[in-house]
Amino acid sequence: MTKRRLPAEWEPQDGVLLAWPHEGSDWRPYLDAVLPVFVEIVRHVSRFELAVIAAPEPESVLEKLAGSGADLERVRVCQVETNDTWARDFGPITVQEQGAARLLNFGFNGWGLKFASDLDNRINRRLEALGVWRAPLETVGLILEGGSIESDGCGTILSTEECLLNDNRNPHLSREELEEQLHGLLGSDRFLWLANGFLAGDDTDSHVDTLARLCPDDTIAYQRCDDPDDEHYAELQAMEGELRAFRTREGRPYRLIPLPWPGARVDEDGSRLPATYANFLVINGAVLVPTYDDKNDRAALEAIGQAFPGREIVGIDCLPLILQHGSLHCVTMQLPEGTIAF
């Protein structure tokens, strides 16, 4: 196979893919609360690059965006039927092959058959039929979600055992077999595996983008818990120990940036919601960071600014997003340079 490379998220992008909440999705009880969050994400994305939106009813999306301050010249709304809004996990994963972009269309099974995903699993092909993609779309016979892997752009993948090795994803493959297949598909040659770390209320089986994120210059920003009375304390302390033990390709420790711990958020039934500052999105010239009306929001923005000097750090209130157990990175998928046809 020709050598490939999985770009880092901070490399140049054409745009960001989103899927719009609607009455037929699980967002129905929360639409009034969550739609302004999506409007705000699109507003900020469109300041820097294209926002590509999959939606069953494009007209209603454009009505919501009208007057919002979004640059509508940088917004494309595509009529596509969707189950839900988690573009990170059904969206295409882009690799570079001989300097050209190639979109990998992995299978999406609703995080191990937890939720309906029949429509979302077809979105990438539907967008292809609508002429959205400039790059070719390659269907891959593996289950893989974008939120489950992190790339430094130089061949290192960061992931969690709980997700990638879960028997609800690719049970026919051993760790070694999965690594071998992903190395071939993504052009990687090194895995960093986290055995610890979780968030209560997370449906993804510990996606790494809720826990620890690869950043430029051999840096890892990670969600830390400093409250010994919190149910996450032991696991996230153990994860921090693993991160400290990781070494770069050159054999040096990573530069670690801990993110502050947001206060507990619960739903109407008292169940814990997965608030995390690690679920940020890097775009051209900026980083969009989830905030939770929390005393530690400002400290989180400052910490992420240390990982991405020179970029604008933008906080977006994502309290409504965690009502459906995800956050900002989960509802977006970056589309690297060379992927979009318009």
Q: DSSP secondary-structure letter at 323?
A: G
- Give the pLDDT score at 319: 98
Q: What is the pLDDT of residue 39?
A: 98
Looking at residue 206, its pLDDT comes to 97
**CATH among 3.75.10.10, 3.30.9.10, 1.20.120.1750, 3.40.50.1000 for 4-336:** 3.75.10.10
Domain ranges (residues) in the chain:
4-336
Q: What is the pLDDT of residue 174?
A: 97
Classified as helix, coil or strand, 55 is: strand
In the chain, where does DSSP find H-type helix?
31-48, 58-65, 87-90, 110-113, 123-129, 161-164, 175-186, 233-245, 297-307
Q: Under the phi-then-psi rule, with left for phi > 0, alpha for psi from -120 to 50, and beta for the rest, what region is 202? A: beta
Q: What is the pTM of this model?
A: 0.97
**pLDDT tens, position by position, 197-224:** 999 999 999 999 999 999 999 999 999 9
pLDDT below 70 — which residues of the chain?
Answer: 1-2
Q: Exposure of 302 by Cβ count < 10 A (0-12 exposed, 13-18 middle, 19+ buried)?
A: exposed
330 is catalytic: yes
DSSP string, 280-318: -EEETTEEEEEE-S-TTHHHHHHHHHHHSTTSEEEEEE-
- Of 78, 225, 318, 330, catalytic: 330
What's residue 102's pLDDT?
A: 98
Instruction: Give the pair of three-digit tokens for residue 60.
Output: 């209603």
Q: What is the DSSP letter of 321?
A: G
**Residue 1: its pLDDT value, please?**
46
Q: What are the structure tokens assigned to 30, written together?
A: 């929360």
